Amino acid sequence: MGHQSRFDVATRGGVTAGQEWIYDGDVPIARLEHVVVEQPEQNLRYFDRNLKPIVLRDLKLTPDGRPLVAGVQMFWNLDGHIITTDLLDITVQGRGSDCLTLTVITADPGGVALSRRVLTLSYDDTTASYVYEFACHLDLAAPQTFDRPGGPGFAHFEITDPWYCDVPAPTVAFDGGWSAHGYTRLLAEPADDGVWQMPLNHLATGIPAPQAFRDGGMLVLADCPDNNPAFEFIGPTAARTGIGVCNWGYDVHFRATYQRDELYAPICETFRVRRCPNERVADLLQRAQPVPAVTYSGHDELPRYERHSSFDKPLRLDEPSGALDPWPWLPAGDGARWCKDVGRSDDHSLEIQRLEPGVTEWTMDREGEGAWTQRWRTCTGFRVHVWVRTKDVSGRGASLGLRWIIYNHPERHPLLCSSTVVGTSDWTRLTAEILGPVPDAVSAVAIVLRLDGAGTAWFDDIDVEILGMETACLTS
């Protein structure tokens, strides 16, 4: 006899408003969370539009396994501004049985929509996996909100935006960093019967993603044997659901499309979360279509960001990043080139060559806790050194700059620049500092290598130092 489940929902103590968990026997397997989400996650995941979301968190897919799915949102996002954020009720049926039903009812504050999300939890002996089936009901009290004169005749609604445990991997290596457990790609079974793949690489998320699935088609995170989570699209939901992968956190937006007449009838979409068997993962990998070309401003590879670097390590944009999941240095403006024949400590550098006066930059804006590094403290700061060589530079010159970053918002903090170098010079060391306390809502620092003018500059051998309380706060 296989595993015999006995499900229940129970509240765990230890905090004033105890955590609500789904149990299988005495083992917690998923957590129902309804708490205020702080920055930077509030901005980056919810765009500051759902301060207290209702989410199923830390889903285990096997009785003895670790959590594989970090979150499945239990609300509808209808157009980015109409969201069923108000939690009205939660009911539970099937306590102590092998089939648990949990119903979450939410509504938007304006009374446009009512959501009833029904989770049915069971255990499948044939695949040795828990099966979380979500029936996502939606009743529109005012469908005319989305059916306006001159409109396109259809509407896109986001069903959920789930995300995974352990990925992305850390952007940079640091003590106590987590492991991505060998995950390298997303696989999917679209309606055309092929197999789509996307390597886990922050710049590969622009690969066109499936806009419809076959009935029972899966979206799978691979390849970690026995631990590959899958989303399975059921019935009509498969044909009307498209996905988009976020370049920040590889969370996957599930978006359904409705013709205008469908808005005036009850809506229900169904998907499941389960473990994908190793044999099916192997079959998907074998049948996966080649990854299409991935470029950024004409580059198919760019230098990886590292805190101590001579810009010599490539990041292929159409391949998995690896055990670490770094962002590359990104060029902006005319004349930016990843140079492989001039350098200070080797033959690599970041080059800017401008024939006409203007501004060109190489930028890294993913250094910080909002971009998968270690946690910051109030007094976290940064000191950065880089070497620059110039030839016939006119104008304001070559410099290094640092800026506090708030994602998804216009720039509001100044670029703090080093001294500048003009004319023709041998390798010169530039230094810039940005000191805590960290401003409110900031979750990253941008490092900018800049040429303002004309001429040629080569930047090499960067060192990024994280400052603690004594240096960053007490000196500011």
292 occurs within a structural domain: no
Q: Are residues 162 and 239 in the same domain?
A: yes
CATH code of the domain in which 122 resides:
2.70.98
Note the Cα 86 to chain centre separation in Å. Answer: 25
Which of 135, 123, 124 has the alpha carbon at shortest distance from 7?
123
What is the rounded CA–CA span in Å between residue 149 and residue 13?
A: 53
Over the chain, what is the mean pLDDT?
Answer: 95
Banded model confidence at residue 468, pLDDT cuts 50, 70, 90: confident
DSSP 375-439: PP-TT-EEEEEEEEEEEEEEEEEEEEEEEEE-TTS---S--EE---EEEEEEEEEEEEEE-SSPP
Question: What is the reported pLDDT for 232?
Answer: 98
> pTM for this one?
0.94
Q: Are residues 405 and 460 in the same domain?
A: yes
Q: Are residues 79 and 221 in the same domain?
A: yes
Question: What is the reported pLDDT for 101?
Answer: 98
For residue range 199-215, list pLDDT tens digits in order.
999 999 999 999 999 99
376 occurs within a structural domain: yes
1 occurs within a structural domain: no
DSSP 174-219: -TT----TT--EEEE-BTTS-BEEEES-TTGGGSPPPS-B-TT-EE
Q: Nearest-5° angle of CA 55, CA 58, CA 59?
A: 95
Whole-angstrom CA distances from 107 to 76, 87, 145, 262 are 9, 7, 15, 19
SS3 334: coil
Note the Cα 398 to chain centre separation in Å. Answer: 33
Are 165 and 68 in contact by the 8 Å Cβ rule? The answer is yes
List Cβ<8 Å contacts ≥24 apart for 100-104.
Answer: 100/7, 100/8, 100/9, 100/22, 102/9, 102/22, 102/32, 104/54, 104/74
294 occurs within a structural domain: no
Question: What is the reported pLDDT for 153?
Answer: 85
What is the rounded CA–CA span in Å between residue 405 and residue 382?
A: 13
Which of 20, 121, 137, 22 has the alpha carbon at shortest distance from 75?
137
Are 340 and 347 in contact by the 8 Å Cβ rule? The answer is yes
Q: Are residues 196 and 53 in the same domain?
A: yes
Q: Are residues 74 and 186 in the same domain?
A: yes
Q: Are residues 308 and 282 in the same domain?
A: no
Question: What is the reported pLDDT for 389?
Answer: 98
What's the structural domain count of the chain?
Answer: 2
What the block records as the tokens of 260 is 């205008």
Question: What is the reported pLDDT for 79?
Answer: 82
What is the rounded CA–CA span in Å between residue 417 and residue 401?
A: 4
Q: Are residues 243 and 308 in the same domain?
A: no
Question: What is the reported pLDDT for 277?
Answer: 97
Helices (H) and strands (E) in the chain, counts: 4, 28
Provide mean pLDDT across the span 214-241: 97
Q: Are residues 312 and 409 in the same domain?
A: yes
> Among the three residues 287, 316, 331, which one is the final residue of a domain in this structure?
287
Residue for token digits 């991997």? 169
What is the rounded CA–CA span in Å between residue 349 and residue 337?
A: 9
Q: Which residues contact 444 (CB under 8 A, 6 or more apart)?
A: 40, 365, 366, 367, 368, 369, 370, 371, 404, 405, 407
* CB atoms inside a 10 Å sphere around CB 61: 26
Q: Whole domain around residue 133: which residue ranges?
A: 7-287
Q: What percent of the chain has pLDDT over 90?
A: 90
Q: Are residues 65 and 92 in the same domain?
A: yes
Q: Are residues 309 and 230 in the same domain?
A: no
> Among the three residues 287, 314, 343, which one is the final residue of a domain in this structure?
287
Phi, psi of 46 (to 5 degrees): -115, 0
Buried/exposed code over 137-171 (b: 16+ C-beta within 10 A; e: otherwise): bbebeebebbbeeeeeeebbbbbbbbbbbbbbbbb
> Among the three residues 260, 287, 314, which one is the final residue of a domain in this structure?
287
Banded model confidence at residue 473, pLDDT cuts 50, 70, 90: low
Note the Cα 434 to chain centre separation in Å. Answer: 26
Residue 211 buriedness (CB in 10 A; 0-12 / 13-18 / 19+)? middle
What is the rounded CA–CA span in Å between residue 340 and residue 329?
A: 15
353 occurs within a structural domain: yes
Banded model confidence at residue 410, pLDDT cuts 50, 70, 90: confident
293 occurs within a structural domain: no
87 occurs within a structural domain: yes
Q: Are residues 218 and 320 in the same domain?
A: no
Are 104 and 54 in contact by the 8 Å Cβ rule? The answer is yes
Q: Are residues 57 and 178 in the same domain?
A: yes
CATH code of the domain in which 400 resides:
2.60.120.260
Beta-bridge partner residues of 146: none
295 occurs within a structural domain: no
